């Protein structure tokens, strides 16, 4: 199941093909049972079609609205994190010399690790590889700069 969601183009083609097959099957059944000949059934089919279009348009509208708010929230969190990292980097300049260079190096490593994790995306194997690399945050607890 993970493969399907990691390859959206293949999923789209599969769903498009399935939709085309189902539509053709429905058309053949309508021709066989002469559904188009009866005016009452034509009205019912039109009502069902209109209801489905309204349902799909509402679903699409709500989905895009929710996605837009999530993108805006993610962007604001990213900007907030960047500002915090920059502030921490500037404040590290006020530390005494052996700690200053060490703190700045740890921040650089953190930024590199964070960028690497962001570039991984939804690929599970690349994510596990990136997490397995010892990062600055794991080494921060036991490391102290040498004088």
Same domain, 64 and 101: no
Q: Is 36 among the domain residues? A: yes
Mean of pLDDT over the chain: 83
Task: List pLDDT tens digits, range 77-106.
Answer: 999 999 999 999 999 999 999 899 999 999
Q: What percent of the chain has pLDDT over 70?
A: 86
- Please tell me which residue, 122 or 103, carries the higher pLDDT value: 103
DSSP H/E element including 139: helix 136-139
- Mean of pLDDT values over 62-84: 92
Give the domain range for residue 104: 93-138
Q: Is the pLDDT score of 116 beyond 90?
A: no
Q: Which residues contact 143 (CB under 8 A, 6 or more apart)?
A: 102
**pLDDT confidence of residue 39:** 79
Same domain, 25 and 70: yes
């Amino acid at each position: 199941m993970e493969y399907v969601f990691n390859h959206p183009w293949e999923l789209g083609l599969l769903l498009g093909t399935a939709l085309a097959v189902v539509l053709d099957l429905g058309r053949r059944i309508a021709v066989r049972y002469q559904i188009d000949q009866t005016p009452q059934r034509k009205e019912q089919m039109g009502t069902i079609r209109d209801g489905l279009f309204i349902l799909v348009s509402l679903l699409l509208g709500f989905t895009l609205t929710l996605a837009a708010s999530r993108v805006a929230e993610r962007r604001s969190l990213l900007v907030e994190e960047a500002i915090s990292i920059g502030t921490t980097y500037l404040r590290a300049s006020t530390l005494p010399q052996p700690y200053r260079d060490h703190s700045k190096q740890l921040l650089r490593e953190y930024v590199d690790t964070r960028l690497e994790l962001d570039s991984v995306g939804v690929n599970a194997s690349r994510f596990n590889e990136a997490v397995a690399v010892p990062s600055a945050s794991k080494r921060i607890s036991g490391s102290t700069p040498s004088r």
